[in-house]
Amino acid sequence: MQQKLITFIGGGNMAQAIVFGLLKNGYPADKITVSDPNADKLALFAERQVNISQNNLQAIQNAEVVVLAVKPQALAEVCQPLSAVDFGEKLVISIAAAISVQKLTALLPSAQHIIRVMPNTPALVSEGMAGLFADKNVPTPFKTFAQDLMNAVGKSCWVENEAQMHLVTAGSGSSPAYFFLFMEAMEHALKNLGLEAQTARLLIQQSALGAAKMVQQQPDMAISTLRENVTSKGGTTAAALNVFQQQQLSHTVQQAIEACVQRSQEMEKLF
């Protein structure tokens, strides 16, 4: 991975995940700066020899890469004083949900190289999935750097048009919560039927992990085939799946994904 001077504006969970992932992969701490008003958050980075600041303007002066790691509703306020800086030679990476490249360009008029990233919270355990989008004018080395940055905490993929970032939000940005909800429901069901809480959780978390690994390690096999392979006709698995089908699980999931996409589209117009 190229080694550039990186400044993170915002030191929240996602910034922590990326920075700590970079450090774990051998990225020099002295090439990373994190700026955040919260002293407790900054202390976490200082413990790992990362440069810290509470002044965003000073923090980005010498940066080659600026990562905007703040909530979308705060981005305009954060960018206002930064707009005086010449971003012409800097790479700007935004992980703010639903903020378009057009909006980012309006907030930082001198920025010529902007990449949008939609990460997700499994980055905190180096198992993240990030979707990236860049305009055609962004040079390949900058795109490579952004992808390497996200690969430090998981995997990544590019989308060809910016509208697809809404689908990335639904497919990976928000989806850990869908799986958590399903696992939570299974846990409650087992406990309601008399299983001890710790045992219920172990059964579910390990099964979910194993199922995900089977999907990952057999990329040429359809997920439907994996499901069919563990579903004997008239057996216990089939009995459970029949209930899901009767309750139109697939239709419910389709509606949920569409609702997530719609909300992402609405948010893009709000900020």
pLDDT digit string, tens, across residues 111-153: 999 999 999 999 999 999 999 999 889 999 999 999 999 999 9
What is the reported pLDDT for 29?
97
Q: What is the mean pLDDT of the chain?
A: 96
In tens, the pLDDT along 193-241 reads: 999 999 999 999 999 999 999 999 999 999 999 999 999 999 999 999 9
- CB under 8 Å to 158, separation ≥6 — which residues? 131, 132, 133, 134, 143, 147
Q: Can you tell me the distance from the alpha carbon of 155 to that of 259, in angstroms, rounded to the nearest whole number?
A: 25
Q: Does the pLDDT of residue 11 top 90, yes or no?
A: yes
Percent of the chain at pLDDT above 90? 96
What DSSP element (H or E) covers 160? Answer: none
- pLDDT confidence bin for 271, thresholds 50/70/90: confident
Domains and CATH numbers, the chain: 6-162 (3.40.50.720), 175-270 (1.10.3730.10)
pTM reported for the whole predicted model: 0.92
What is the reported pLDDT for 226?
98
Q: Does the pLDDT of residue 1 top 90, yes or no?
A: no
Q: Can you tell me the distance from the alpha carbon of 47 to that of 210, in angstroms, rounded to the nearest whole number?
A: 35
Selection from 216, 220, 219, 227 nearest residue 250 by Cα: 227
What is the reported pLDDT for 33?
98
Q: Can you tell me the distance from the alpha carbon of 83 to that of 60, in angstroms, rounded to the nearest whole number?
A: 11
Percent of the chain at pLDDT above 70? 100
